[in-house]
Amino acid sequence: MTKFGRIIYFLSLLGLSKMGAQTMGKETILIETSYGNMKVKLYEETPLHKVNFLKLVNDHFFDSLLFHRVINTFMIQGGDPTSKRAKPADTLGNGELGYTVPAEINPKLIHKKGVIAAAREGDDVNPKFASSSCQFYIVQGKIKTPEELKKAEDRINKTAATNAGRAVMKSEEGKMLKAQYDQYKKANIADSAELINKIIEGMIKEELAKKPVYTMSEYQRTSYSTVGGTPHLDGTYTVFGEVIEGLEVIDKIAAVKVDGNNRPEKDVRMKITLVK
């Protein structure tokens, strides 16, 4: 990148930071790796995640853990406690500390390149989007076209519809209607089964109507079309900080050779400390 290009890039980062209006904490966190170091600031808008992460850092919990899941143009993930002494063939990603952190999803905290966010279990077993106690990821992503941003919007709305359906079918009324539907289908009473199905569909529409159709803000569109990121994760994972120095390290780690489980073939260890 030319000197002029770097100036424009960092000016764009400054402008986007103001647009997002996130409040940086006073503490600076240093993530050291064999590919270089990253400095991170945590957001004041996500106090539960900030306190939890700082505690783990002060306890030296992350030291010698691996970035165990790396997907180029997507993200780098670490924080699994079982990764510290993992053997090369071990499958990682299930280690936890026995608790979760309540979601602190904020529409102005988005998945632009360089943000740090909490990993979590899937929507089907985690409808409230509670975060992992210790696993986190740092977004790499890529610059998005208008067409790709539209697809991301559609994907988010499709996920919302799926979650609405899950919520209805887990309710007592939903379970009862499903049982009736199954009985009618088994008895080959098509009209009654279809009636029940329409009732269920109506309940799902009512549940979905509680949440407006998702549309990206101008800040999101500008961020993803200039800095890049992973917009389809917005609104479903808690973003709680960002890399303020060392963005190039993300690219270096993301480019390493990985196995079939996206684990780097050569271990990428971390050391995380509080420097200010």
* Tens-place pLDDT, residues 219-237: 999 999 999 999 999 999 9
Residue 1 confidence (pLDDT) above 50: no
Which whole number is the average pLDDT over 99-116? 97
- Kindly state the average pLDDT of the residues 79-97: 96
Beta-bridged to residue 40, according to DSSP, are 29, 243
Taking alpha carbons only, the member of 272, 276, 238, 270 closest to residue 58 is 272
What average pLDDT does range 172-197 have in this prediction? Answer: 93
Cross-strand pairs, 264: 258
For residue 185, CA distances in Å to 61, 182, 192 come to 54, 5, 8
pLDDT for position 219: 93
The rounded distance, in Å, linking the Cα atoms of 78 and 209 is 36
Task: Give pLDDT tens digits for 18-55.
Answer: 445 689 999 999 999 999 999 999 999 999 999 999 99
Taking the C-alpha atoms of residue 52 and residue 41, their distance in angstroms, rounded to an integer, is 14
- Residue 233: how many other CB atoms lie within 10 Å: 21
Of 1.10.10.10, 1.10.1040.10, 2.40.100.10, 3.30.505.50, the CATH number of 10-143+227-274 is 2.40.100.10
DSSP class per residue in the chain: --HHHHHHHHHHHHHHHHHHTPPBPS--EEEEETTEEEEEEEBTT-HHHHHHHHHHHHTTTTTT-BEEEEETTTEEEE--GGGTT--TT---S----S-EE-----TTS--BTTEEEE----TTT-TT-PEESS-EEEE--B---HHHHHHHHHHHHHHHHHHHHHHHHHSHHHHHHHHHHHHHHHTT-HHHHHHHHHHHHHHHHHHHHTSPPP---HHHHHHHHHT-B-GGGTTTS-EEEEEEE-HHHHHHHHTS-B-TTS-BSS--B-EEEE--
Give buried/exposed letters for 115-130 (b at 16+ CB in 10 A, else e): bbbbbbeeeeeeeebb
Domain boundaries, the chain: 10-143+227-274, 148-209
Model pLDDT, residue 20 = 58
